[in-house]
Amino acid sequence: MNILIAGAGEVGRHSAQVLSSSGHQITLIDRNAEKLDSVGEALDVRTLAGSVTQADTLIAGGIDKADLFIAATDADETNMLSASIAKGLGAQRAIARVHHRVFHERVPLDYAAHFNVDWLVCPEHLTSLAIAGVLRDPALQAIEHFARGRIVMERIEVGDTADVVGRSLKELALPNGVRIGTVSRQGRSIVPNAHTVLNVGDQVTLVGTTKQLDKLLPMLRRDQQQKQKIVIFGGSPTSVWLARGLDKRFFKTRLYVNDRARAEELSEKLEGTTVLDADPTDPAIFEEENIGDADAFVGATSDDEDNILGALQASHLGVKRVMVVVSRFAHHTLIEGLGIDHVFSPRIIASRAIEQLAVRQTIHEIARLDEHGTGVYELDVGPESRVTGKTVKDLQLPPGVLLIAVERGDEVRVPGPDDTLQADDTVIAIAHQDLSKKLRTLFD
């Protein structure tokens, strides 16, 4: 592919390095000629000095022949504008890196659609999802990320007094908006059909809207789940994304912000999160707040050193798991042996997301549900796809495949048998990896 990248910072450089090593033709554009000289010496890429928001610069870079344009400067507005201009000048696809929540979310305006940008990548949001995946379950988190929280996924065990024991799924007559994605029994998972009978001890993966799942759970006699106690240190965008994303049904979250004005601001914005104006690394505060009893401590301020020192102290004083967010790559490698359980770099995470989007295929796996090959797949419906214009019941899906979510523009829903798939829909399916080739053939 012919790829133009705007911005020679860490994300742009890293993306250029990985994509060029995969055989793609890369042109890296930046205002700073010295940065470009450094990149040119280290990487086999073409460089171009100039403003990425000026059409002349992009034309000189060959934007009319570009398969992909990646806007990865440090300024959201520059990235949105340059990506939009690139699409207008002939780029096939465009990715823009953004930091501010107002651009990433689609309310009140879908900025991506407005500027004709194919994908927006928010490093802080992706980092919060990565942290939440460690705290919970990466597969469940992947579904909820896809559906932007409108569809949730939950695993529960069928109790010995559950109403569903000994009954087939056909008999259960599940409400609209709910699917049983998998049933795990004796260590193996299957995608059930209408004749699958539920037994005591089965691990059932439920997918649906929160409202509908809450109706179904009493049938399975699930005991009240003990909430994990999470301490987040810092009022950074990553902290805010994480606090918003931790489901209040599973987590009890405290956010410490050592800045009174910021703490008051976030206290009004973060419903269900306890926000305190205090420094949890202060031994007196640590003891007074019983932070040692927390299940996890996340250092996510805007200062790497504060995050590292806070996590080390939390670990020393008894917190079960400690995690840090670091901006500088040198810190990422330096602290791996210090006893900190997980280190997250927003820039590295964003680079990986960009690379995955750059080589995006019709179907790709986004999560694994078990070690035997049952996975969650994301599929794109193209204009010429065999499924375009067909209802779900007419797709003739192979046994063992279940469609659990469809995204169309700003709408996300659990599809029913009479729903029709349209071009540009994105579909989430559960299937065994052996069926992925059949899915690819069906959706190509």
pTM (2 d.p.): 0.82
pLDDT number for residue 324: 95
Q: Tell me which amino acid residue 317 is.
A: L
How many helices (H) and strands (E) are present in the chain, helices listed first? Answer: 17, 21
Q: Outline where 317-345 has alpha helix (H).
A: 329-334
Is the domain of 342 the same as that of 398? no
Task: DSSP letter for 219, please.
Answer: G
pLDDT number for residue 368: 80
Nearest CA-CA partner of 90 in 58, 63, 111 = 63
> Is 191 part of any domain?
no
Among the three residues 333, 352, 371, which one is the final residue of a domain in this structure? 352
pLDDT number for residue 10: 87
pLDDT number for residue 225: 61
Q: Domain count of the chain?
A: 3
Is the domain of 395 the same as that of 326? no
Is the domain of 290 the same as that of 311? yes
> Is 331 part of any domain?
yes
Those residues whose C-beta lies under 8 Å from the C-beta of residue 154, and which sit 6 or more positions away, are: 140, 205, 206, 213
DSSP per position, 25-76 = EEEEEES-HHHHHHHHHHSS-EEEES-TTSHHHHHHTTGGG-SEEEE-SS-H
> Is 307 part of any domain?
yes
pLDDT per residue of the chain (444 residues) written in tens, 0 to 9: 999 999 999 899 989 999 999 899 999 999 999 999 998 888 999 999 999 999 999 999 999 999 999 999 999 999 999 999 999 999 999 999 999 988 988 778 989 999 999 999 999 999 998 898 888 776 666 666 666 667 777 788 888 878 888 989 888 878 778 888 889 887 788 889 889 999 988 888 888 877 777 777 777 655 556 789 999 999 999 999 999 989 887 899 999 999 999 999 999 999 999 999 999 888 889 889 999 999 999 999 999 999 999 999 999 888 989 999 998 766 666 776 677 899 999 988 999 899 989 987 788 888 787 777 888 898 999 888 889 999 999 998 888 899 988 988 778 888 988 999 999 899 999 998 888 888 888 888
pLDDT number for residue 159: 81
Domain housing 97: 2-121
Residue 148: phi and psi, rounded to 5, are: 55, 40
Among the three residues 121, 139, 162, which one is the final residue of a domain in this structure? 121
Whichever domain contains 426, its CATH number is 3.30.70.1450
pLDDT number for residue 333: 66
pLDDT number for residue 334: 72
> Is 67 part of any domain?
yes
Is the domain of 232 the same as that of 311? yes
Is the domain of 8 the same as that of 101? yes
DSSP per position, 2-28 = EEEEE--SHHHHHHHHHHHHTT-EEEE
- Tokens of residue 412, six digits: 């996300």
Nearest CA-CA partner of 150 in 443, 359, 408, 346 = 408
Residue 211 DSSP SS3: helix
Is the domain of 332 the same as that of 382? no
> Is 238 part of any domain?
yes
Nearest CA-CA partner of 76 in 106, 58, 53, 47 = 53
CA separation for the pair 117, 208 (Å, rounded): 29
> Is 236 part of any domain?
yes
pLDDT number for residue 119: 93
Is the domain of 341 the same as that of 434? no
CA separation for the pair 355, 367 (Å, rounded): 17
pLDDT number for residue 163: 81
Q: What is the CA radius of gyration of the chain?
A: 24
Whichever domain contains 42, its CATH number is 3.40.50.720
- β-sheet bridge partners, residue 376: 367, 430
Is the domain of 238 the same as that of 341? yes
Is the domain of 345 the same as that of 375? no
- Tokens of residue 229, six digits: 């106690």
Those residues whose C-beta lies under 8 Å from the C-beta of residue 284, and which sit 6 or more positions away, are: none
DSSP per position, 77-130 = HHHHHHHHHHHHTT-S-EEEE--SHHHHS-SS--HHHHTT-SEEE-HHHHHHHH
Q: Tell me which amino acid residue 267 is.
A: S
Is the domain of 331 the same as that of 377? no
Exposed/middle/buried for residue 396 (C-beta within 10 Å: 0-12, 13-18, 19+)? exposed
Is the domain of 348 the same as that of 371? no
> Is 431 part of any domain?
yes
- Tokens of residue 343, six digits: 């280190």
* CA-to-CA dists, residue 33 to 42, 49, 51, 79, angstroms: 14, 6, 11, 19
Nearest CA-CA partner of 50 in 92, 90, 84, 78 = 78
> Is 135 part of any domain?
no
Is the domain of 28 the same as that of 99? yes
Among the three residues 106, 121, 136, which one is the final residue of a domain in this structure? 121
